[in-house]
Amino acid sequence: MLEVTGIPTVEDIEKVFPSKERLKIGPVVVMECFQNIPCNPCYTACKTGAIKEFEDINDLPTVDQSLCNGCGLCISNCPGLSIMVVDMTYSEEEALIKIPYEFLPLPEIGETVKGLDREGKVVCEVKVVKVLRGKSLDKTPIISLAVDKEYVKIVRNIRLGE
């Protein structure tokens, strides 16, 4: 389906989403990389050894979730913008997700924006907690969003304004 629609299915997401047990521990990476293409900057960017070295550059990335601390260095290094970080320990009701966002204007910290699903449909409102845009991110800012936990597997983008 993904190769016809461009939208990862629920099953696709389940395959790469960390286990409930891992999510309880703290922030962790989610890599929505489903196609064998020649690409390995996520491995090069990872400083904790969580993203394993590629035997073949066309392999899908493999993550040792026990080594991932959710730092998010890989997010802005992924040419496919396919990586996000999820932190289910952010608060009782909300999860924190960190996503790449390459559009202007950038959202303001504290702003409430529309949370979009993988098809670009508005599903809920989300709060912007942090906007990272340092030089090392090379024009791929990382937005941290507080998302109602029930939407954590659904929200993958934002829309500003009305």
Partner 1 sequence: MRTVELLVVGGGPAGLCAAIQAAEMGSSVILVERSQHLGGQLIKQTHMFFGSEKQYASKRGFDISNILLDKIASLEKITLMQSTTVMGIYEDGVVTLEHKGEYIKVLPKATIVATGASEKTLAFPNNDLPGIYGAGAVQTLMNEYGIKPGNRVVMVGAGNIGLIVSYQLMQAGVEVAAIVEGGPKIGGYLVHASKVRRMGVPILTRHTIKSAHGKEVLEKVTLWQLDDQWNGIPGTEIEFGVDVMCIAVGLAPLSELLWQAGCQMKFIESLGGYVPTRDENLQTSVKGLFVAGDVSGVEEASSAMVEGYLAGMSAASYLGYKLYNMNEVKENLLNQLDSLRHGQMGEKIRKGIAELQIEHEAAASVDA
Binding site for partner 1 (CB under 8 A): 2-8, 32-41, 44-45, 56-58, 77-82, 102-104, 116-121, 138-140, 156-157
Beta bridge partners of 148: 94
Smallest separation, CB 69 to partner 1 (Å): 21
Residue 35 or residue 62: which is nearer to partner 1 going by CB?
A: 35
Smallest separation, CB 154 to partner 1 (Å): 11
Q: Which two tokens stand for residue 7?
A: 């939208």
Cα(105)–Cα(99) distance, rounded to whole angstroms?
16
Residue 92 or residue 162: which is nearer to partner 1 going by CB?
A: 162
Residue 25 or residue 34: which is nearer to partner 1 going by CB?
A: 34
Smallest separation, CB 44 to partner 1 (Å): 6
Smallest separation, CB 30 to partner 1 (Å): 13
Within 13 Å and on the Cβ side, how many CA atoms surround 50?
21
Tell how far CA 108 is from the center of its chain: 19
12 and 2 in contact (C-beta within 8 Å)?
A: yes
Residues near 80 by beta carbon (within 8 Å), at least 6 away in sequence:
33, 37, 39
